[in-house]
Chain A
């Protein structure tokens, strides 16, 4: 069943024309890149750490079914209720059931990209439950009814003035101020009341430890600790790939994560949750639920090459270094995960029918490959998805959806010409002679010549010059 293709081209063209957006992202990405570089200034340490990070993630993936079973076992023993969801619909239903059972009217949320995949907030709202984002960046985009534009810094597309105006408009008690400290203090006051009164706290999971049944969360603001400690019920949402085998696997993963994501040696808080409130303890949730979500990940896991997408620790460094993301921003992708990881993950989750453009929104510059803390071969996976897009097959959802007889013929013709020295020589002779007469308005040339002059065919090829000069052939 074909769905309307999500028009990345249109969205990116609109973004390119927005000078404020361009300036915001250029400045933000430059800053993030240089700060990250400072964190990994010791080249030997960087290489050792990313090798260790990759090994931890690969080991977890190699035992994924066993580790998920073990995680369930240890969590259950700890008093954490474990739920499994094949689809986001199932996950939403699980969350709703818990909410209804405890008569929840207000949920406060720590940042969770999985919850964005689920469109959880909209779903809960439909059922009369308010889901309030407590991470400041998420709170900002929620106020403006937008999606986050970056997985680590959700409001990165906004500058201070825009946020000041938003707060004035949307928060009752707000006076107009562009002072960042005052804006922050306002958010603190508003959200503090909510933490106190919320019925349920919802969080993501940065790493779930199978060995001990521990959920690890990193954050700077304190909202994560608030939502996982104050309300009587805590629901943690995780993609099934987020499990690690041992507790000792956590420090290298978190170190790579925080240094790559926000260029910090560590976040303000590292929060490791193992049980609900025990007898005699005076705070903490009475119920903790862990929802393990599939949503296409088990299909990704099935492919030997594409499964490396699942190494991702969601640091966002790839998008910080992506020259395409820097220019179009996160919203152009219209997905919870933008940038390079988005371009390989989203087409696999949502299919190459609606998302066929994504793997091509890439120059293969490999900047992301260079800085991925767990050595995901992003460019190779991007290329594989380009192949899947034009060849029907079982590996990826809607594979072949972008197949075009015309394009296939072009490449067949190209292969026939370029694999035959005689045909190649004929073709290049013709091109050298008449290629420059091609009008700039031809398809493909038209796109090129919008900002460049036509490429100029030389009168004689290198083959000709080499022959003239007597360069030996063998």
Chain B
């Protein structure tokens, strides 16, 4: 009795060999030609992301931790989950002033503090690899140093975006950076706070992912 794998593959192979599928060459010109002037890219990223309720604040390399702190205070956030093992994490620690919110280190497996993460954390902060102008999307490659749930579980996601780390299209960022040669555990595009239109096609924000996405543009 052949197993499912063998019988499926044998069937597909026999069909295809008997009748090859006619193909047409893939022409990626339409994607390749989606380009914006460097000056236009950030403006477009902001416009597309703000249209879906993303918030933007400006900062510099020097003052961004203070900017983040101010944003979170205004939001009434009591806790900020962050990745201490990253450059941004180290900068955050050194640039953080007294008076809250409380910095919480994401330096151990989530299994050790899951309930706290889900119920006791107001905000999470991550770096990004850049942003895509075509679709208004942040690119994230979480990893051992900067875990995935930082940008998902806390109600507020603070994303650090370097103002010159801008791409035209998703296709461009993955081909130019040769993603196919080595994909991370998890690669993400994030284009706004979580939303749904499942209730009578009426847009509602903050479903399961973060309710607020605040992008700190570091010039």
A, B from the same assembly: yes
What is the interface of chain A, defined by CB distance below 8 A to chain B?
A: 24, 27-28, 31-32, 45, 48-49, 51-52, 54-56, 58-59, 61-62, 64-65, 68-69, 84-86, 90, 134-137, 140, 153-156, 158-160, 163, 180-181, 183-185, 187-188, 191-193, 195-196, 211-214, 220-223, 225-226, 229-230, 240, 246-252, 254-255, 262, 265-278, 280-284, 292, 294, 298-299, 301-302, 304, 307
What is the interface of chain B, defined by CB distance below 8 A to chain A?
A: 3-5, 7-9, 11-16, 18-31, 48, 52, 106-110, 114-115, 118, 134-137, 143-144, 147-149, 152-153, 169-171, 174-175, 179-180, 183-202, 204-210
A–B complex contacts, Cβ < 8 Å, 15 sampled: A54-B24, A64-B16, A65-B12, A156-B201, A184-B206, A187-B207, A188-B206, A221-B207, A265-B136, A268-B190, A273-B186, A277-B185, A282-B144, A294-B8, A298-B12
> Is A281 a contact of B28 with CB atoms below 8 Å?
no
Most buried by B among A32, A58, A240, A282: A282
Instruction: Enumerate the 3 nearest inter-chain pairs by beta-carbon distance, A residue then B residue, closest first.
Output: A222-B209, A222-B208, A48-B30
Most buried by A among B107, B200, B209: B200
Other-chain contact of A58, B24, B28, B190, B197 (Cβ < 8 Å) = B24
> Is B4 a contact of A294 with CB atoms below 8 Å?
yes
Task: Give min CB distance, A274 to chain B, whole Å.
Answer: 4
Alpha-carbon distance between A85 and B26 when the two chains are bound, in angstroms: 31
> Is B31 a contact of A68 with CB atoms below 8 Å?
no
Task: Give min CB distance, A19 to chain B, whole Å.
Answer: 16
Residues of chain B contacted by A277 (CB below 8 angstroms): 185
Known: A225-B209, A301-B16. A248 touches B180 (CB 8 A): yes
> Is B28 a contact of A52 with CB atoms below 8 Å?
yes
> Is A45 a contact of B185 with CB atoms below 8 Å?
no
> Is A266 a contact of B27 with CB atoms below 8 Å?
no
Residues of chain B contacted by A68 (CB below 8 angstroms): 8-9, 12
Other-chain contact of A192, B136, B187, B196, B208 (Cβ < 8 Å) = B208
Residues of chain B contacted by A284 (CB below 8 angstroms): 147-148, 185-186
Task: Give min CB distance, B174 to chain A, whole Å.
Answer: 6
> Is B152 a contact of A58 with CB atoms below 8 Å?
no
> Is B204 a contact of A251 with CB atoms below 8 Å?
no
> Is A268 a contact of B8 with CB atoms below 8 Å?
no
Residues of chain B contacted by A276 (CB below 8 angstroms): 185
Known: A153-B197, A248-B180. A184 touches B188 (CB 8 A): no
Residues of chain B contacted by A275 (CB below 8 angstroms): 185
Residues of chain B contacted by A294 (CB below 8 angstroms): 4, 8
> Is B180 a contact of A246 with CB atoms below 8 Å?
yes
Task: Give min CB distance, B102 to chain A, whole Å.
Answer: 19
Task: Give min CB distance, B28 to chain A, whole Å.
Answer: 7
New A-B pairs, 17, CB < 8 Å, besides A64-B21, A226-B209:
A55-B25, A58-B21, A58-B23, A58-B24, A65-B13, A154-B198, A230-B149, A250-B174, A254-B170, A270-B170, A270-B188, A272-B187, A274-B184, A283-B149, A298-B8, A299-B11, A307-B21
Alpha-carbon distance between A188 and B153 when the two chains are bound, in angstroms: 11
Task: Give min CB distance, B18 to chain A, whole Å.
Answer: 8
Residues of chain A contacted by B200 (CB below 8 angstroms): 24, 28, 158-160, 163, 180
> Is A278 a contact of B136 with CB atoms below 8 Å?
no
Known: A31-B201, A51-B24, A55-B23. A283 touches B209 (CB 8 A): no
Known: A58-B22, A136-B207, A187-B207. A51 touches B27 (CB 8 A): yes
> Is B114 a contact of A86 with CB atoms below 8 Å?
no
Residues of chain A contacted by B149 (CB below 8 angstroms): 229-230, 283
Task: Give min CB distance, B49 to chain A, whole Å.
Answer: 10
> Is A226 a contact of B208 with CB atoms below 8 Å?
yes
Known: A86-B7, A188-B207, A282-B144. A265 touches B152 (CB 8 A): no
> Is B198 a contact of A267 with CB atoms below 8 Å?
no
> Is B208 a contact of A188 with CB atoms below 8 Å?
yes
> Is B185 a contact of A248 with CB atoms below 8 Å?
no
Chain B, Cβ-Cβ closest to A286: B111
> Is B204 a contact of A181 with CB atoms below 8 Å?
yes
Chain B, Cβ-Cβ closest to A78: B183
Residues of chain B contacted by A85 (CB below 8 angstroms): 4
> Is B110 a contact of A283 with CB atoms below 8 Å?
yes
Task: Give min CB distance, B215 to chain A, whole Å.
Answer: 14
Task: Give min CB distance, A425 to chain B, whole Å.
Answer: 44
Task: Give min CB distance, A30 to chain B, whole Å.
Answer: 10
Chain A, Cβ-Cβ closest to B211: A188
> Is B198 a contact of A155 with CB atoms below 8 Å?
yes
Known: A59-B26, A155-B199, A265-B134. A270 touches B189 (CB 8 A): yes
Alpha-carbon distance between A180 and B210 when the two chains are bound, in angstroms: 17
Known: A55-B25, A214-B183. A266 touches B189 (CB 8 A): yes
> Is B174 a contact of A251 with CB atoms below 8 Å?
yes
> Is B204 a contact of A247 with CB atoms below 8 Å?
no
Other-chain contact of A56, B26, B52, B185 (Cβ < 8 Å) = B26
Chain A, Cβ-Cβ closest to B110: A283
Alpha-carbon distance between A48 and B30 when the two chains are bound, in angstroms: 6
Residues of chain A contacted by B204 (CB below 8 angstroms): 180-181, 183-184
Chain A, Cβ-Cβ closest to B203: A180
Residues of chain A contacted by B202 (CB below 8 angstroms): 160, 180
Chain A, Cβ-Cβ closest to B114: A196
Chain A, Cβ-Cβ closest to B27: A52
Other-chain contact of B180, A180, A196, A211 (Cβ < 8 Å) = A211
> Is A160 a contact of B199 with CB atoms below 8 Å?
yes
> Is B188 a contact of A229 with CB atoms below 8 Å?
no
Residues of chain A contacted by B28 (CB below 8 angstroms): 52, 248, 252
Chain A, Cβ-Cβ closest to B187: A272
> Is B207 a contact of A222 with CB atoms below 8 Å?
yes
Residues of chain B contacted by A69 (CB below 8 angstroms): 9
Alpha-carbon distance between A220 and B31 when the two chains are bound, in angstroms: 23
Alpha-carbon distance between A302 and B144 when the two chains are bound, in angstroms: 45
> Is A55 a contact of B27 with CB atoms below 8 Å?
yes
Residues of chain A contacted by B24 (CB below 8 angstroms): 51, 54-55, 58
Alpha-carbon distance between A344 and B143 when the two chains are bound, in angstroms: 43
> Is B27 a contact of A48 with CB atoms below 8 Å?
yes
Task: Give min CB distance, B186 to chain A, whole Å.
Answer: 6
